[in-house]
Structure 1
Amino acid sequence: MRNISDIIEQHLKTILKQSRSGFVEIQRSELAQKFQCVPSQINYVISTRFSKEKGYIVESKRGGGGYIRIHRVEISSLKDLFHMIVEMIGQQISQQTAEDILARLLDEGLITERECRIMKAAVSREVLSFELQVRDQLRATLLRAMITQIFIHRGGESS
């Protein structure tokens, strides 16, 4: 059985797919009430499952008529997506951010589940057992090289 976070995530993604506006606007308290959970659970789902690395922009307005708005970022070309991902990777990257980027590539259909698992294993802290800064730099280098090959293979430009 899926946990409450998975259920909330799926609910929001379903609403987002059905949205003609390209975004979903929710009130945290109403969603918490619907799923019979605390509002902080909604915050957790939004911050961990709807990140920039996973292809979402989240806006929020606090107060009386407050809302949380989630946009799915649509990329016009593989080249644009490639450049955006390389910029996100930068010179160093945490394991969680790397996994979020890989989840996005999987979501976009650019890598298979198997490729995703292999790439995650290659950049995991268990494999890269170095000092934190060195590990994050090495992870960025490895991830950038693997993603460059994915985009070259898929017909996207890497330059």
Structure 2
Amino acid sequence: MPNITDLIELYLKQVLQSSSEGSIEIQRNDLADKFSCVPSQINYVISTRFTLEKGYYVESKRGGGGYIRIQQVSLPSLEAVQRHIQQTVGDQIDQTAAEGLIYQLEEARFLTVRESNLLKAAVSRDVLAVKLPLRDEIRAKLMKAMLVALLLK
């Protein structure tokens, strides 16, 4: 059974998909009431599951009448994806950013779930058991090589 965090994420993604504008505005307190949770739980979901690395732009306005706007950033073409990979990965990349990029490519259907899982396993700090900054440099080279091979399939 999914936990509350997964349910909130799923709900927000469904609302976002059904939005004609490609973005949604939510009231944190209203959403917390809907899921019978504290507003900080909504903050947690948004800050961990709706990041720029994962393909989302989040804007918030605090105070009375405040809102949280979530917009999905789409990757339009293979060429754009390849440029995005080069810009995101660079000469080194940490595990969080690597996993965010993998997630974004899976969400955009450039990678299958299986390919995503393999990539995440290969770039894990547990597998790349060398000291920083060498680990991030190796991870970047692996990411580039594997993504080029996968995206040219």
- Structure 2 length as normaliser, TM-score? 0.93
Partner amino acid for 1:19? S
Partner Cα separation in structure 2 for residue 24 and residue 70 of structure 1: 5
Within 5 A, what are the aligned runs for 1:41-60? Answer: 41-60=41-60
C-alpha deviation, 1:24, in angstroms? 0.6
Partner amino acid for 2:123? V
Query: RMSD of the TM alignment (CA)?
Result: 1.3
Confirm or deny that 1:70 pairs with 2:67: no
Partner Cα separation in structure 1 for residue 15 and residue 9 of structure 2: 10
* Paired position in structure 1 for 2:143: 143
Where structure 2 has 5 or more consecutive residues not aligned to the other structure, the ranges are: none
C-alpha deviation, 1:74, in angstroms? 2.0
* Paired position in structure 2 for 1:90: 90
Larger deviation: 126-135 or 76-85? 76-85
Partner Cα separation in structure 1 for residue 32 and residue 10 of structure 2: 14
* Paired position in structure 2 for 1:38: 38
Instruction: Please state whether the residue corresponding to 2:93 is helix, strand or coil.
Output: coil
Moved over 3 A (4+): none
C-alpha deviation, 1:4, in angstroms? 0.6
C-alpha deviation, 1:59, in angstroms? 0.8
Where structure 1 has 5 or more consecutive residues not aligned to the other structure, the ranges are: 154-159
- Structure 1 length as normaliser, TM-score? 0.90
Instruction: Please state whether the residue corresponding to 1:132 is helix, strand or coil.
Output: coil
C-alpha deviation, 1:110, in angstroms? 1.6
Aligned partners of 2:75 and 2:108 also within 8 Å: no
Total equivalences in the alignment: 153
Note the alpha carbon deviations across 1:2-41, whole angstroms, 9 max, x for none.
Answer: 0111000000001001111110100111111111111111
Confirm or deny that 1:115 pairs with 2:115: yes
Larger deviation: 79-88 or 55-64? 79-88
Partner Cα separation in structure 2 for residue 82 and residue 43 of structure 1: 31
Larger deviation: 10-19 or 86-95? 86-95
Partner Cα separation in structure 1 for residue 49 and residue 104 of structure 2: 11
Note the alpha carbon deviations across 1:48-104, whole angstroms, 9 max, x for none.
Answer: 111111111111111111111000112221211221132112222221221121122
Partner Cα separation in structure 2 for residue 138 and residue 79 of structure 1: 24
Instruction: Please state whether the residue corresponding to 1:91 is helix, strand or coil.
Output: coil
Partner Cα separation in structure 1 for residue 119 and residue 38 of structure 2: 35
* Paired position in structure 1 for 2:152: 152
Instruction: Please state whether the residue corresponding to 1:109 is helix, strand or coil.
Output: coil
Instruction: Please state whether the residue corresponding to 1:59 is helix, strand or coil.
Output: strand
Partner Cα separation in structure 2 for residue 55 and residue 65 of structure 1: 26
* Paired position in structure 1 for 2:28: 28
